[in-house]
Amino acid sequence: MSEDPNVNQAKGSGESWQDVGKQFEALGNSLAQAFRTAWGKIETNAEAQQVKAGLETMLREVGQAVEDVAKTPEAQKVKEDAARAAESLRTAGEQTVQEARPQILSALQKANAELQKLIDKLEGKQGTGA
């Protein structure tokens, strides 16, 4: 008996999104490292308050966006429709995932690389007070 190619594609899609998840995790780690590095360069209380306020705003906005999207009637309807139509959409969805995954991974890798350059630059400016 041969394996169902759709099962193999579904496994591949799961692994693809797992890679995307890992890139988001890496981006989060890079952001944390950048924050720690920047925090070490802060020389005044006013600068510390600006960084803290900006970080708190970013976290609040991201959290609120996730909550808002998940609670919308549209999101609930999409979830219900997706459950009913999952089998018929699987093939098209898998193709879309396969097409989008490389671009998403590439964008996340570039963001991580650029953030690492910024971290390296900030860490290299020990005591410049710029």
State the total domains in the chain: 1
Let me know if residue 51 belongs to a domain: yes
The pTM for the full model equals: 0.43
CA distances from 86 to 14, 41, 79, 92 (A): 15, 51, 10, 10
**What is the residue-averaged pLDDT of the chain?**
75
DSSP 1-32: -PPPHHHHHHHHHHHHHHHHHHHHHHHHHHHH
Q: Is the pLDDT of residue 19 over 80?
A: yes
Residue 66 lies in a domain: yes
The verdict on residue 19 lying in a domain is no
68-101: pLDDT as tens digits: 877 888 777 767 766 776 656 466 656 666 677 7
- Answer yes or no: is 95 within a domain: yes
> In which domain, by residue range, is 98 found?
46-121
Whether 113 is in a domain gets the answer yes
Angle at 91 between CA 90 and CA 92, to 5 degrees: 95
Is the residue at 109 inside a domain? yes
